[in-house]
Chains A and B, each alone.
Chain A
Amino acid sequence: MTHSQTANEIIERRACISGVGQSDVGRRLFRDPLELTLDACLAAIDHAGLTTSDIDGLATYPGPMSTPAGFSGAGAYDVMDALRLNCGWYSGGLETSGQLGSVINACLAVASGLANHVLCFRSVWEGSAQGGQGRSSVMPGGSGGSFKASGFMEWTLPFSAPSAAIWIAQFAQRHFHLYGTTKEQMGWIAINARRNAALNPKAIYTEPMSMDDYLNARVISTPFGLFDCDAPCDGATAMIVSRLDRAHDLRNPPLRVEAVGSAIHGRPSWDQFDDLSTMANRDAGAQMWSRTDLKPSDVQMLQAYDGFTFLTMSWIEALGFCKVGESGPFIDGGTRIARDGELPLNTHGGQLSGGRLHGYGFLHEAATQMWGQAGARQIARNVEVGAVAAGGGNTCGCLLLVKD
Chain B
Amino acid sequence: MSSEAEAVPFRILPRLTDANREFWQGGEVNELRFWRCQDCAQYIHPPLPICPSCHGKNLRVEPVSGRATLTTFSVNHQAWMPGPELPYCVAIIEIMEDPRVRLTTNIVNCDHDALVIGMPLRAIFEHHVDPEGDVWIPLFEPEVKP
Residues of A at the B interface (CB closer than 8 Å) are: 135-136, 139-142, 144, 147-150, 154-163, 165-167, 169-171, 173-174, 177, 218-224, 270-272, 274, 276
Contacts and interface: CB of A to CB of B under 8 A. Distances in A.
Contact of A136 (B13, B81, B88): B81
19 contacts: A141-B12, A141-B81, A147-B12, A148-B12, A158-B135, A159-B104, A160-B81, A161-B90, A166-B90, A170-B91, A171-B72, A173-B74, A177-B72, A223-B74, A271-B103, A271-B104, A272-B102, A276-B71, A276-B92
Nearest to B20: A154
Interface residues of B, number: 40
Contacts of B11: 157-160
Contacts of B63: none
Contacts of A149: 12-15
B14 A148 contact: yes
B117 interface: yes
A166 B76 contact: yes
Given A142-B80, A154-B15, A159-B104, A173 B90 contact: no
Contact of B81 (A142, A150, A271): A142
Contacts of A173: 72-74, 117
Contacts of B45: 272
Given A159-B139, A160-B84, A174-B72, 13 more contacts: A136-B78, A136-B79, A144-B10, A157-B14, A158-B137, A159-B90, A161-B90, A162-B80, A166-B90, A220-B77, A221-B78, A271-B104, A276-B92
Q: Which of A155, A158, A219, A271 has the most CB of B within 10 A?
A: A158
Contacts of A271: 92, 102-104
B117 to A, nearest CB: 4
B132 interface: yes
Contacts of A160: 9, 11, 76, 80-81, 83-84, 88, 90, 106
B105 interface: yes
B14 A154 contact: yes
Contacts of A159: 11, 90, 104-106, 137, 139
B82 interface: yes
Given A155-B103, A160-B90, A150 B74 contact: no
B124 interface: no
A221 B76 contact: yes
Contacts of B77: 218-222
B84 A154 contact: no
Interface of B: 9-15, 20, 45-46, 71-84, 87-88, 90-92, 100, 102-106, 117, 132, 135, 137, 139
Nearest to B118: A177
A221 B15 contact: no
Contacts of A270: 104
B86 to A, nearest CB: 10
Which 10 pairs of residues, A with B, have the shortest CB-CB distance? A160-B83, A148-B15, A169-B74, A174-B72, A157-B12, A141-B12, A221-B76, A222-B75, A219-B77, A170-B72
Contacts of B14: 148-150, 154, 157-158
Contacts of A162: 80-81
B81 A139 contact: yes
B104 A161 contact: yes
B95 to A, nearest CB: 12
Contacts of A223: 74
Q: Which of A139, A149, A161, A166 has the most CB of B within 10 A?
A: A161
Nearest to A170: B72
B82 A144 contact: yes
Nearest to B132: A148
B21 to A, nearest CB: 12
A316 B77 CA distance: 28
B20 A170 contact: no
Contacts of B90: 159-161, 166, 170, 221
Contacts of A167: 104
A154 to B, nearest CB: 5
B7 to A, nearest CB: 15
Contacts of B15: 148-150, 154
Contacts of B10: 144
Nearest to B92: A271
A148 B14 CA distance: 5
Nearest to A226: B78
Contacts of B75: 219, 221-222
A30 B104 CA distance: 37
B125 to A, nearest CB: 12
